[in-house]
Structure 1
Amino acid sequence: MKLLRLLVLLFVLPVSAQQGGMWIPSLLKGMNEKEMKTLGMKISAADIYDVNKSSLKDAVPHFNGGCTSEVISSKGLLLTNHHCGYGEIQSHSTVDHDYLTNGFWAMKQEDELPNKDLEVTFIVKIEDVTNKVLEGVAALTSEADKQKKIQENINMLSRTLPKESWQENKIRTFYDGNQYILFLTETYTDVRLVGAPPSSIGKFGSDTDNWVWPRHTGDFSLFRIYADKNNRPAAYSKDNVPYKPKHFFPVSIKGVKENDFTMVMGYPGRTQEYLPSYAVAQIINDLNPAKIEVRDAALKVQDGFMRKDNAIKIQYASKYASIANYWKKWIGETKGLKKSNALAIKQKFEQEFQDKVAKSGKQAEYGNLLADFKKNYTEIAPYALSRDYYTEVVLRNTELLSFGYRLFQLEQVYNAKGEQAFNDRKNNLIAGFEDLYKDFNANVDEKVFEQLIALYATKSPKQFLPASLVNADTKKLTEEVYSQSKLTSYNGLKELLNGDAKTVIERINKDKGFQLVKTMADSYLKNVAPKYDELNLKNIALQRTYMKAILELFPNNRIFPDANSTLRVTYGKVKGYSPSDAVIYEPMTYLDGVIEKYVPGDYEFDVPAKLISLYNNKDYGQYADKGRMPVCFIGTNHTTGGNSGSPALDAEGNLIGLNFDRVWEGTMSDIHYDPAICRNIMVDIRYVLFIIDKYAGAKHLVDEMKIVQNKKK
């Protein structure tokens, strides 16, 4: 297949280093391996990925589907970010045992805390299955039929390709549907909390420092994987034993310095590096500003309540952090795209693309791509904006509306599948809602609703609004909904759902909150979703052809596949940067900076008394660097969401840090990577060990690790 030959070429051609990239670990031999060795790597591509013997990939499981983690002992000890384990830490916290505030440390294995629904997934094997997935697709004409056939092939292959009973075949698309790769996986579901620093360390700087440099956050938590007596995945049981990994990372306390080689392995979630300029312009000018405004309003309300009431702070801590994370990311992304002239760079590339199309005689195949993109993105604009407002207001940031939407879906199940399916879904909802209402406060949500429903009524494209929101008195609407709806409490919800299907349907349709959700959902599903989906399907088809054309016409370019939550390798160097004129950032931070930022009693910048004492006494143990305690460092590794918790490795494959963020000026790297300002942020492993050992007194966990101690000369 000509395309696959082109893909292979991409991995062997010598090109310049450190221009970003998220590379498939099974395809590093050739160009990538040579480039990595040029940057200073001492190990081989086979040491990173090998299907026949243990390799680095065997120590990097996907953490609960959204983060990355790494195995750091022969007894299944697992390291990830504090913010990745935040939900588990919160779930074990109460006002009396507040592990978010005070931290948690299991001093023996019996004290490690099990976690419902927490899982980690290892990659066993990676294999190209493009030809099998695309079998029978070329003969089809409509995009919908092609997508259906591809999915049928994927489902069949996932079932029939070889695997053990405890394993799973997962097939993912690469290069916008031009390549398909199989991942054979093993998922462990008994994962227990071992240790977490207090939020004043693990979340130091909180939302103020999020996405920025310099950073002083000890963003880590510890878990342990348990398995059955055969070392295979098993549901939680007291009889389970610590997992014995195929590989675990030695932990280096040699330290880092500028220009040292770094490699990050992990599961980056989603990037869009090859979008046309029309899509990028829409993100900059319309979509990001709308989402930022919605979340800004929600965050201000929640923050006001959290600062006054500790119980609300515990309830909303995880939700607030989740909302704030991408709110701030979108702000930085927009600024970065403008600062780096991403739009102009895209437009210049598109001109070059058109020239190459003409010179190669590919006008019939590729000549109209950009014109079609322009037409489609112009047409989809109001639908895309309405979709984002609906998603942000109804589904993500107003809990009463999101609860009501689940009941709307329940009604749809009844209409489509009948009473038995309705009852099954209803029972699951009642059980699931108990946990949701545990962290719900009607007073907080009412004030969030008041702000967000006003934005929805005035900023979302008016032609798609339900009649009840056109020129609506949103203050009056808020009062009516929260004084009359049963959705404001768990008992009220159970009352709504009590009875047979007909009774429940009649009752929920009389509820003020449900009535509003239903009119909003009906309007969206009738007026927005169908046209958006139609146009988006056209863009998906165009993007696949555009990607195919780029691969063919630019064979010497560094073209890596967009992130899709599969295991990737990115590499670079420890390096500072200059975000603006006359400002230069060093690549490392120290505990001195924590003390400089210290604000007594502030929930973002408070510092535990014991940490202050350790600092004053310079009691750093073996983890100091010339009398100072390192905290974080930055590098040129190309990362994104999903890389949280990823191991940062040195030239020998030893663990030197834990990836947890990017710098604000470089968050646009999901769309456009600029090597001048794109940096990933890592907590120094020496700070992690210092907190475990000297702060928490949990040296038994450090003793469990393989420490590489020889110092740099």
Structure 2
Amino acid sequence: MKKLLSLSLLLLLINLSKAKADEGMWLLPLLQQLNIETMNEMGLELSAEELFSINQSSLKDAIVIFGGGCTGEMISDQGLLLTNHHCGYGQIQELSTLENNYLDNGFWAASKEEELPAPGLKVTFMRHMEDVTNRVLEGVAEDMDHETRQKAIRANIDSITKAAAEGNDYEHLVRDYFAGNQYFLISYEEFTDVRFVGAPPSSIGKFGYDTDNWMWPRHTGDFSIFRVYAGHDGKPADYSPDNIPYQPLHHLPVSLQGVEMDDFAMTLGFPGSTQRYLPSWGIQERMNIFNQTLITVRGEKQDIWAEDMAASDKVRLQYATKFSRSSNYWKNSIGMNRGLEALDVLSQKRELEARFAEWAESSAANQERYGKVLATVKEAYTSRAPQYKASNYLRETLVNGTEIYRFAGGAKILENALEAGHQTAIDSAVSELRSAGEVFFKDYSAPTDQKVLAAMLARYAQDIENRFWPDFYTEVNKKYQGDYQKYAEKLFEKSLFTSQAAFEAFLAKPSLKKLRKDPAYQAGRSVRKQYNKLLGMNREAQQQIDNASRLFIAGLMEMQPDKVFYPDANFTMRLSYGTVGDYEPRDAVRYKHYTTLQGVMEKEDPDNFEFFVPERLKELHATTDYGRYGDKDGSLWVNFTTNNDITGGNSGSPVINGKGQLIGLAFDGNWEAMSGDIAFEPELQKCINVDIRYVLFIIDKYAGASHLIDEMTIVE
């Protein structure tokens, strides 16, 4: 049965190979069957084998996972890597000090010896990918309950990954697609010696900051450069001064030819997550609970951060990355809700569900397999709403929103060691916590977090039923009569986790009694206990949703045999293709497909750090000293738009022309199509990219780092 289902799925996809679609995040092993003919007609001059090959180098070998949530690309045979400035932002901030502020001033290593090690940063190459659906579903019966089914699948996956690991050092994962209707085995190779090479100042790399985030027109030089190092055998190795630049199997040539309207463009990368097959009840939950939680809670927290950042350069540097990460999806949530409402996506989903229900009743076979799917989905989403809201609020307010509770919770390893009385374990826990403390306190402002704690406690109590409160609330309300500011003041006076000096003093002489009595540790454990309880309350409903979603998608494929289907993003390598183009966001407004350096000057506001323009950049503009990076019209292009289908995780993805040459870096989507993770909008959806010529102009003419240009393969 499962073999027939997998074969049917493949035949459905193959039959769609001639359908034109800019929408879609496509699996590379299926390009030959699905997409290559359309892509060639649109302007691609490469074969499917040149894009993805198991036996020889191909375009996919130049693409990497950068860190844990972005994409990067290799641009030289000496390990040079290009990604977005906002992807490298955390590493740049970690390496910065008040004396050497690389965020504000930029950084350019004049030689490989000056490149800065970036501890903890990893770069990952995908080495192999193959369909293993039949092997994963071997012995899996349709009438199995959820636990039995998952147990059988896990056993098959363990067998597959164990066999794949023989004779190599790769990491092997099996990922599901179409909600568990298809599975692929993927092999990765991870490099841990990665060094910071260069980045423009944030006034270029983040020009426009949060005001322009998700907006078009953009004028942002969103790029940074790193280098991957390996051992002398070319294999991954921990950092060592003796390591050598890694020679990738493929690196992207860089084009100076620019782009024009309707030019073919493709992206390769690791899109994080989409929910294009989400039912109407899931969309309501996403809008009214998940997104609204982020909008409410993060908005309040960010206001506190912003006030303290504006008052102190030290706090601004400490919280730059935290604020950027928080605000990115806060604004995304606002835009998504707005877009879903404007496009009336709920009505479209309900219409599809009505057709699905009618189709499911059209035959006995359909009714048996799909007849209860929609009722199950509706019941699962409806029943879990109260506890799902509580778990989202608790995560945003007290699990992740409040730094002190999360940091204090890390001392659980020391409590266990002290309770057991094993000195070796105690010493190990102390060492681990001391290292964690050095990282934590470097970027921590206790006065700021105290304000956040009081606000987050109040917000959770105000918006969530008291039956979902962590148990420490009882003592706080009894002792402080609900005065959360007073409670926060006392906690920060008494806790050993609020200052590095107190924390170090405790680690020098750790005490089980003192740790257990610490108010931050007690509250942190209470929060985590309640959070785990809420997750458990959501688990049964989530299992129902998972099972029904698998059947819903399988049914949709049977019901719509002529529709183009592609799997949701799940942070595995995908290719999207489209064209360069403009768009009309509203009546009587048309945005052209590119911006220029002139627009940077027009946005300049010396009194607003978001729109500060460096003097050197103004000088180059005034003299139009663009070198070979200017466009044929005499201007210097900064950003351009395509209709490639991207989402979070695609940040840093290369934008590649029909010849396989790098023409830009994807870094954002547009405000009018923030619904894109749930519903692709073909008339409005745009991928915002940095023109590669602007990247090279900043490296060469602005920074004078022409030695980096010299090691690239430049196509004039």
TM-score, scaled relative to structure 2: 0.94
Alignment of 1:686-701 (within 5 A): 686-701=693-708
> How far apart in 2 are the matches of 1:19 and 1:617?
40
Q: Please, which of 331, 334, 356 is the counterpart of residue 334 of structure 2?
A: 331
Partner of residue 556, structure 1: 562
Q: Note if contact 1:82-1:202 (Cα within 8 Å) is conserved in structure 2.
A: yes
The 1:123–1:14 alpha-carbon spacing in structure 2 relative to 1, beyond 3 Å, is closer
- Selected match of 2:516 from 504, 509, 512: 509
Aligned-partner residue type, residue 432 of structure 2 = N
Aligned partner of 2:462 in structure 1 is 458
Judged with a 3 Å threshold, the aligned counterparts in structure 2 of structure 1 residues 538 and 406 are, in CA distance, closer, same or farther, namely farther
Asked if the contact 1:590/1:632 (under 8 Å) is kept, the reply is yes
Corresponding residue for residue 6 of structure 2: 4
* Cα distance, 1:524 vs structure 2: 3.4
Q: Is the 8 A contact 1:464 1:524 kept in 2?
A: no
One-letter code aligned to 2:500: Y
Matched, 1:110 2:120: no
Verify the 8 A CA contact 1:75 1:243 in the aligned structure 2: yes
Partner of 1:245, secondary structure, is coil
Deviations 1:629-684 (A, max 9, x none): 10001111111111010000011111000011111221221111111111111100
Q: Secondary structure at the match of 1:20?
A: coil
Paired letter, 2:362? K
Q: Secondary structure at the residue paired with 1:135?
A: coil
Report the equivalent of 2:453.
Answer: 449
Kindly indicate whether residue 175 of structure 2 is the aligned counterpart of residue 175 of structure 1.
no
2:216 partner SS: coil
Residues in 2 aligned to 1:152 and 1:375: alpha-carbon distance in whole angstroms? 30
Q: How far off its partner does 1:496 sit?
A: 4.6
For 1:421 and 1:696, locate their aligned partners in 2 and report how far apart those are by CA, in whole Å. Answer: 50
Match of 2:621 in 1: 615
Contact 2:22 2:577 in 1 (8 A): no
CA distance in 2, matches of 1:417, 1:273: 52
Structure 1: distance between partners of 2:419 and 2:370? 45
The separation in 2 between residues aligned to 1:344 and 1:603, in whole angstroms, is: 42
Q: Is 1:148 the equivalent of 2:154?
A: no
Matched residues in 2 for 1:225 and 1:56: separation? 18
Counterpart of 2:23?
A: 20
**Equivalent pair of 2:132/2:185 in contact (CA under 8 Å):** yes
Structure 1 residue 576 and structure 2 residue 611: aligned?
Answer: no
The Cα of 1:377 is off from its aligned counterpart by 0.5
Q: Which secondary structure does the structure 2 equivalent of 1:28 belong to?
A: helix
Q: d(CA) in 2 for partners of 1:414 and 1:6?
A: 58
Mapped pair 1:493 → 2:523: no
Q: Distance in 2 between matches of 1:36 and 1:421?
A: 58
Are residues 580 and 64 of structure 1, via their aligned partners in 2, closer, same or farther at CA, if it must alter by over 3 Å? same
Deviations 1:229-259 (A, max 9, x none): 2222111222221111211111011111221
Deviations for 1:566-601, whole angstroms, at most 9, x for unmatched residues? 110011111222222222211111111111111114
8 Å Cα contact 2:395/2:531 also seen in 1? no
Kindly provide the amino acid, as one letter, of the partner of residue 469 in structure 1.
Answer: Y
Q: 1:96-127 CA deviation, whole Å, 9 max, x = no partner?
A: 11111111111111111111121111112211
Query: What is the CA–CA distance in structure 2 between the aligned matches of 1:63 and 1:649, rounded to whole Å?
Result: 18
Contact 1:575 1:587 in 2 (8 A): yes
Q: What residue number does 1:206 align with?
A: 209
Q: Is the 1:166–1:232 Cα contact (8 Å) retained in structure 2?
A: no
Structure 1 stretch displaced more, 528-537 or 217-226: 528-537
CA spacing shift, 1:19–1:251, aligned 2, 3 Å = closer
Decide which of 655, 666, 673 is 1:666's aligned counterpart: 673
Question: SS in structure 1 opposite 2:197?
Answer: strand
Change in CA separation of 1:522 and 1:187 when aligned onto 2, cut-off 3 Å: closer
* 3-state SS, counterpart of residue 565 of structure 2: coil
Counterparts of 1:274-293 in structure 2 under 5 Å? Answer: 274-293=277-296
> What corresponds to 2:46 in structure 1?
43
CA contact 1:262–1:573 (8 Å) conserved in 2: yes
Residue 595 of structure 2 corresponds to 589
Any conservation in 1 of the 2:92–2:103 contact (CA below 8 Å)?
A: yes
Aligned to 2:33: 30
| Corresponding residue for residue 374 of structure 1 | 378
Aligned twin of 2:489: 479
Q: Is the 8 A contact 1:450 1:474 kept in 2?
A: yes
User: 1:414: Cα distance to partner?
Assistant: 8.1
- How far apart, in 2, do the equivalents of 1:412 and 1:659 lie? 46
- Is the 1:122–1:185 Cα contact (8 Å) retained in structure 2? yes
Distance 1:280 1:97, change over 3 A: same
Give runs of aligned pairs for residues 338-349 of structure 1, distance below 5 A. Answer: 338-349=341-352
Task: State the one-letter code of the partner of 1:188.
Answer: F
CA–CA separation in structure 2 for the residues paired with 1:41 and 1:671 = 28
Distance in 2 between residues matched to 1:495 and 1:587, nearest whole Å: 59
The equivalent of 2:546 in structure 1 is 540
Sort the Cα spacing of 1:596 and 1:456 in 2 relative to 1 into closer, same or farther, 3 A. Answer: same
3-state SS of paired residue (1:225): strand
Residues 428 and 136 (structure 1 numbering): CA distance in 2 closer, same or farther, change over 3 Å?
farther
From the superposition, tell whether residues 498 and 133 of structure 1 become closer, same or farther in structure 2 (CA, over 3 Å): farther
Report how many residues are paired: 705
Q: What's 1:407 paired with?
A: 411
- CA distance in 1 between partners of 2:463 and 2:38 (Å): 49
C-alpha contact (below 8 Å) 2:376/2:544 kept by paired residues? no
Q: CA 1:651 to 1:615, structure 2 compared with 1: closer, same or farther past 3 Å?
A: same
Moved more, 161-170 or 273-282: 161-170
Task: Give the letter for the 1:377 counterpart.
Answer: Y
* Residue 30 to residue 519, structure 1, CA distance change in 2 (3 Å): closer
1:413–1:208 Cα change, 3 Å: farther
CA distance in 1, matches of 2:217, 2:67: 29
Conserved? CA contact 1:263–1:649, under 8 Å = yes
Relative to structure 2, which stretch is displaced further, 442-451 or 416-425?
A: 416-425
Could you tell me whether the CA contact under 8 Å between 2:399 and 2:527 is conserved in 1?
Answer: no
1:277-303 CA distance string (max 9 Å, x none): 101011112321122110001111111
Aligned residue identity for 1:708: V
Cα drift, residue 177 of structure 1:
1.3
Q: Which stretch of structure 1 is more off in the superposition, 67-76 or 572-581?
A: 572-581
| Range 268-277 or range 32-41, more displaced | 32-41
CA distance 1:537–1:497, change in 2 (3 Å): farther
Question: Does the alignment pair 1:122 with 2:125?
Answer: yes
Structure 1 488/18 Cα, relative in aligned 2: closer, same or farther at 3 Å? same
Matched, 1:632 2:639: yes
- Report whether the alignment pairs 1:58 with 2:61: yes
Q: Does 1:228 align with 2:235?
A: no
Counterpart pick for 1:708 among 692, 699, 715: 715
1:194-217 deviation line (CA, Å, top 9, x unaligned):
111111001111111111111111
**8 Å Cα contact 2:18/2:37 also seen in 1:** no
Cα-Cα RMSD: 2.1
User: 1:649 — aligned with what?
Assistant: 656
Distance 1:424 1:124 in 2: 36
2:611 alignment partner, SS class = coil
Would you say the 8 A contact 1:101–1:198 is kept in 2?
A: yes
Task: Please name the residue that 1:604 is paired with.
Answer: 610
SS at match of 1:238: coil
Q: Secondary structure at the match of 2:85?
A: coil
SS of 2:278's partner is coil
Establish whether residue 96 from structure 1 lines up as the match of residue 99 from structure 2.
yes
In the aligned structure 2, how far is the partner of 1:421 from the partner of 1:280? 47
Q: 1:468 offset after TM fit, Å?
A: 4.7
% identical equivalent positions: 42
Residue 572 (structure 2) aligns with: 566
Change (3 A) 1:27 1:233: same
Correspondent of 2:437 among 433, 436, 441: 433
Q: TM-score normalized by structure 1?
A: 0.95
CA-to-aligned-CA distance 1:379-420 (integer Å, 9 cap, x gap): 011111111111111222211121133335765798899997
Taking the aligned partners of 1:170 and 1:518, their CA distance within structure 2 comes to 33
Alignment counterpart, residue 77 of structure 2, candidates 52, 68, 74: 74
